[in-house]
Structure 1
């Protein structure tokens, strides 16, 4: 029998009807479900200054440009690139996480409009939802606590939980393996606001990779890095999946 037309029940992709239902949704946090009002840049400036990078200097401007370009990437990876030396990178990352945590604790963070409702709708539709971030676990937990989101989703992931951060697919695949919610990667939807979110989704094999326009990168950047759909915000994601029969 021609294997291309196999009806093996364990095959996650039906060759006759290749549209797979979405069973697992992996959502980014800052810029996608969470509004942080530019706290990444503020925390970076505080961390850089602690390592001797003067605000307003050419060095500071160059490093800040790189931070903006790599929004969504694991923060320790960003600092490794910027400072080269592992010890300096770890110092910068610690200072960044401390500064960001202080800003979160001071109330400079909020859910993006419709984000919580979107998550609740996705779950009510029978989908498993995971939240992922490029921050360290301590910062992710501080954000979740500040929003009262500790029990909002089935799983939360940071780079250390999965192996590598974005643009690698590790966090998406870790969610796939840990939740057991989907039969194959085509039953995953990934949503985020950065090109690195898109790359992570594409590299994981996710069936839908949705960019949202509430964060760091614009439509052209999201599409160029693999977005299958571009939405005004994550609030539109449940409707997209419903319309597409996914």
Structure 2
């Protein structure tokens, strides 16, 4: 449930929302801790044995959830060869567990409602293109969205940089970030959205970070789940479209 303070921005924009940019893991996809399990497998591959080092690195991963995974490994190890090895081990471990992922409640219905109302949908992720495609294939989402982007497709700069959102806006929203609604469960999602100039930058509480962290990062609203997005976008449209009935 959004607070009164969070609601106050509703209706301020005169630019119609035409594109929803949504994160995957934690926002539309439930992976039940698979990111951290895959990271633990990567630490095993890199022979990180110290309990203190593993705890410190895992905390960093939690704090930077949503960022490009190769960027995270570079920050942790400071060595390109080790970063590439760790990232490859992470992607392999996550891909091997993709069958355990599932759509979060309301995600598919949200896609359907938004597209029925004429909006475009882009999914953005910190995963590689190969892992993103495997995830989309497992979930059967290729036909439900208009675009998906990974950091490698925008020059390698993932979140908190706005590159993926801006690339999606260029292709699907007339190159106007004010016509974009961004939704994500992490601080990096929110920072990416605010940096892009998107009108709606909503946090969602089904993933890594909590309400205070999302608001501090600049979220315009915080939603309990992605299923609340159609109603939020309707608040910003004038005249409003009926996104929640029919």
Normalized against structure 2, the TM-score is what?
0.89
Q: Which residue of 2 aligns with 1:235?
A: 227
Shift of 1:21: 1.1
Shift of 1:243: 2.6
Match of 2:168 among 169, 175, 197: 175
**Retained in 2: the 8 A contact 1:182–1:188?**
no
Distance 1:62 1:18, change over 3 A: closer
Map residues 114-129 of structure 1 onto 2, 5 A cutoff: 114-129=106-121
Structure showing greater radius of gyration is: 1
Q: Which residue of 2 aligns with 1:140?
A: 132
If asked which structure has higher relative contact order (CA below 8 Å, sep 6+), I would say: 2
**Retained in 2: the 8 A contact 1:33–1:115?**
yes
What CA deviation, in whole Å up to 9, does each residue of 1:183-205 have, x standing for no partner? 62111110000000000000000
Shift of 1:242: 1.0
- CA distance, structure 1, for counterparts of residue 108 and residue 148 of structure 2: 15
**Retained in 1: the 8 A contact 2:147–2:168?**
yes
What CA deviation, in whole Å up to 9, does each residue of 1:129-176 have, x standing for no partner? 100100001110111011011221110000001121000000000101
Shift of 1:18: 4.4
Q: Which residue of 2 aligns with 1:216?
A: 208
Structure 1 residue runs of 4+, over 3 Å off? none
Q: Which residue of 1 aligns with 2:18?
A: 23
Q: Which residue of 1 aligns with 2:89?
A: 95
Match of 2:68 among 71, 74, 88: 74
Q: Which residue of 2 aligns with 1:205?
A: 197
Q: Helix, strand or coil: the match of 1:160?
A: helix
Cα RMSD, aligned residues only:
1.2
**Retained in 1: the 8 A contact 2:13–2:236?**
no
Distance 1:25 1:60, change over 3 A: same
Shift of 1:114: 0.4
Distance 1:183 1:170, change over 3 A: closer
Tell me whether 1:43 sits opposite 2:35 in the alignment. Answer: no
Q: Which residue of 1 aligns with 2:77?
A: 83
